[in-house]
Amino acid sequence: MSDELLTSVEMGEADRMAIASGPVAGIGLMRRAGEAVAAEVFNRYPEATHVHVLCGPGNNGGDGYVVARILADSGVATTIWASAAPRPESDAALAAAECPIAPRPLSGFEAGPGSIVVDALYGAGLSKPLSGDAARAADIASNRRLPVIAVDLPSGVSGDSGKVLGIAFTAAVTVTFARKKPGHLLLPGRERCGEIVLADIGIGDDIIARLRSRAFENRPARWLRDFPIPAVDAHKYKRGHVGVFSGGPSATGAARLSALAAARSGAGAVTVLSPGNAMQVNAAHLTSIMLRKADDLADIEEFAGERRPSAFVLGPGFGVGEKTRTFGLALLAAGQPRNAAAQVDGLVFDADAITSFREAQDVLFEAARRQNAPALVMTPHEGEFARLFPDMAGDDASSKLDKARAAAARANAIIVYKGADTVIAAPDGRAAINANGAAWLATAGSGDVLSGISAGLMAQAMPAFEAACAAVWIHAEAGSRFGPGLIAEDLPLALVPVLRELVEARRKVPNG
């Protein structure tokens, strides 16, 4: 698999291991990196009148000297603008020595129409905000709308966090090496990268495996093996039963959206658990989804005892307060002795179920930590995340990936930290960044659908982290394929073609 995401430290380690274990020296890796970038320049900009290669003092700049040499050897008009000379005896100094073009100082950078820019100023080693000549160069490239090909990362973007340090280049294409970095997928970095090309520079999969990276891009290959397909002898309850709690008479729609999504995701049975005073309104809008009154814990226990639900969704439209906390804690106690709902596999707490614990976070986290507690998936958007983890939310030094991981560890839950760059994190440190979504998904009720998919997959015995990753990917894929005009009501049906493809792919997994 090539979906691991490497931090700058891990990438440096991979570099060292590759050099130590094989025939490729540092300069060999650098030459391959430069060749990969030059190939993109040739392929994408055959008409470019002039290529301006901006070189920094480190190895990113070293890659730039390789690119410039290859372009010049092919007769392309090429200028090198360097911010500083490479450190003597470094690989970058070797690459500069091999390059026949005399660098000009970056302070004089200018570029005419029809030219393109190769940004090889800073990559993994970015250590402070761009300033001076580098910042000016970024401004010129952006003001003149010059196409930029970034080497490894657009300078100014942190590979670890995706943050822009001060100012950054905006690339049309970013060529990175061996594996992507979190900053290629996290915002705002992702937007600055343009199209991302992953180049093989000879760092083998065995070396990447030794790094034991626990972060990856959320793609089906990671969880397809666990994706549920009904057995030949399935009956509806074998396919999992999901209970979705509804809010009061004027807040029932969210639960129905969630319930429909759970059903579409393959749960064999779905029941909306409704307050007595909202039974009429729910009944008027439900057909295949079942309906049952659930005003208090006794109702829930009776339902659980009789119908053996395997997953629940609590939160969408449910309301914030004591009742939500009571229901949530009772569900988390489902695995405890003498509790009727002893077989629950998974819980999804979303929206009001998250907000209800803003003053009682530790009670929630402790309940989730108890032995035999059902697996808990929480799906906060940014505002909800800040209510449950206020100290983390305000920490500017850490990335969204760091925050989701720390939150998962503290809460003993899978955290789906939603947004355009949703991060899914598990208490054991595994984390995935999702990148197949689109802004069409930013529509009311979209999150309720996501909760339903997550519960639907967990009810079919998909492990919680994999279920959450799959739900996020499927939801994003359905929404981005649907495109303009999407409203949350469209999403359950829009899941179908995506699910069909996954089932087909799952059937092809060897020994799956």
Q: Work out whether 157 is an interface residue with ligand NPW (CB under 6 A).
A: no
268 is in an annotated binding site: no
- 384, 356 Cβ separation under 8 angstroms: no
Beta carbon nearer to ligand ADP, 307 or 381:
381
Residues 28-47, mask of contacts with ligand NPW (x by CB under 6 A): -xx--x--------------
Taking the least distance from each CB to ligand ADP, the nearer of 10 and 421 is 421
Are the C-beta atoms of residues 237 and 264 closer than 8 Å to each other?
no
8 A C-beta contact, residue 491 and residue 261: yes
Which one of 55, 57, 208, 300 is in contact with ligand NPW (CB under 6 A)?
A: 57
Binding mask 5-34 for K ion (x = CB under 5 A): ------------------------------
Considering only residues 24, 36, 54, 62, which one is a binding residue for ligand NPW as defined by CB under 6 A?
Answer: 62
Q: For 196-232, what is the HEC assignment?
A: EEEECCCCCHHHHHHHCCCEEECCHHHCHHHCCCCCC
By CB under 5 A, tell whether 119 contacts K ion.
Answer: yes
C-alpha separations of 196 from 122, 179, 184 in Å = 17, 11, 8
CB of 187 to ligand ADP, least distance (A): 9
119 to 138: interface string for ligand NPW, x by CB under 6 A: ---xxxxxxxxx---x----
For CA atoms 188, 193, 194, 195, give the dihedral sign: negative
Query: Does 34 show up as a binding residue in the annotation?
Result: no
Query: Is 139 labeled as ligand-binding?
Result: no
CA–CA dist 253, 457 (Å, integer): 21
**Footprint (CB under 6 A) of ligand NPW, residues 198-257:** 201
- Positions 127 through 186 that interact with K ion (CB under 5 A): 150-151, 155
Please state, in angstroms and rounded to a whole number, the distance separating the CA atoms of residues 8 and 158: 9
Binding site for ligand ADP (CB under 6 A): 351, 381, 418-420, 422, 437-439, 441-442, 444-448, 450, 475
Helix (H) or strand (E) holding 195: strand 195-199
Nearer to K ion by C-beta: 149 or 347? 149
Distance CA 218, CA 226 (A): 14
Token readout for 150 is 């970034």
Q: Count the alpha carbons within 13 Å of 369 in the hemisphere toward its beta carbon.
A: 10
Q: How far apart, in whole angstroms, are the C-alpha atoms of residue 169 and residue 162?
A: 13
The single-letter code of the amino acid at 100 is: P
Distance of CA 160 to the CA centre of its chain: 13
Q: How far is CA 156 from the centre of its chain?
A: 21
Ligand-binding annotation for 125, yes or no, is yes
Of 2 and 336, the one with the shorter C-beta distance to ligand NPW is 2
Q: Does 20 bind ligand NPW (CB under 6 A)?
A: no
Is 166 annotated as belonging to a binding site?
no
Nearer to ligand NPW, 178 or 459 (CB): 178
Does residue 63 have a known ligand-binding role? Answer: yes
Question: d(Cα 159, Cα 138) in Å, to the nearest integer?
Answer: 18
Least gap, CB of 33 to ligand NPW (angstroms) = 4
Regarding 437 and contact with ligand NPW (CB under 6 A), the answer is no
Nearer to ligand ADP, 90 or 446 (CB): 446
Give how far Cα 18 sits from Cα of 21, 26, 63, 470, 497, Å. Answer: 5, 9, 17, 33, 42
Residue 418 among known ligand-binding residues:
yes
Which listed option, ligand ADP, K ion, ligand NPW, none, makes contact with residue 399 (CB within 5 to 8 Å by class)?
Answer: none
Binding residues for (6S)-NADPHX: 59-63, 123-129, 152, 254, 317, 381, 448
Q: Which residues bind ligand NPW (CB under 6 A)?
A: 11-12, 14-15, 29-30, 33, 56-63, 122-130, 134, 151-152, 177, 201
Q: Which residues bind K ion (CB under 5 A)?
A: 119, 123, 150-151, 155
Binding residues for AMP: 418-422, 447
